[in-house]
């Protein structure tokens, strides 16, 4: 792991670990934020069963954030952890920064700014999810292997033909 990854991944994951621990230990504040936007989310298609036990949902989300954040920070399955955090980031950003519920210019500006920050963090997580650390993708490796086999077969056929051993 190079220096940039060694610094960037833990920094990117740190807020998820801190917020996740807070959600596990003190879920009330997180539940209050969720309950403010739950009616709108239900109208958008969120199953009401999720809102029925918001404390459990908050703690589960917190545990997932902590686990994926620590995985990303330590380099254990960093791409998978980044995908999990990106998937968690979207609903958490919407719940934490409900622009539609903002009253007043200042509150709306802060919500829009928070949404933009959440989007930026999500984009960073998506970049971390596709980072192969300089290794080629599986599709590239399969194509290269196929080309290599074709080149070997052509070379073997040329050798056999040159020595008159071709079928």
**pLDDT per position as a tens digit, 98-152:** 888 888 999 999 999 999 999 999 999 999 999 888 788 889 999 999 999 999 9
Measured CA to CA, the distance from residue 68 to residue 5 in angstroms comes to: 16
Q: Please say whether the beta carbons of 73 and 24 come within 8 A.
A: no
Residue 154 has pLDDT above 80, yes or no: yes
Measured CA to CA, the distance from residue 109 to residue 95 in angstroms comes to: 16
Rounded to a whole number of angstroms, the CA Rg of the chain reads 25
Query: Is the pTM here over 0.75, yes or no?
Result: yes
């Amino acid at each position: 792991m190079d220096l940039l990854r060694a610094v960037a991944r833990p920094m990117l994951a740190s807020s998820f670990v801190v917020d996740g621990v807070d959600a596990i230990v003190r879920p009330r504040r997180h539940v209050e934020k969720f309950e403010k936007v739950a009616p709108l989310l239900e109208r958008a298609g969120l199953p009401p069963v999720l809102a029925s036990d918001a404390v459990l949902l908050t703690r589960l989300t917190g545990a997932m954030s902590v686990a994926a954040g620590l995985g990303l920070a330590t380099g254990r399955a960093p791409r998978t952890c980044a995908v999990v955090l990106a998937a968690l980031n979207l609903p958490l950003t919407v719940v934490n920064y409900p622009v539609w519920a903002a009253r007043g210019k200042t509150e709306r500006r802060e919500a829009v700014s928070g949404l933009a920050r959440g989007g930026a963090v999500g984009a960073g997580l998506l970049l971390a999810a596709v980072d192969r650390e300089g290794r080629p993708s599986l599709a590239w490796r399969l194509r290269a292997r196929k080309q290599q086999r074709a080149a070997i077969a052509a070379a073997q056929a040329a050798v056999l033909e040159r020595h008159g051993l071709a079928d």
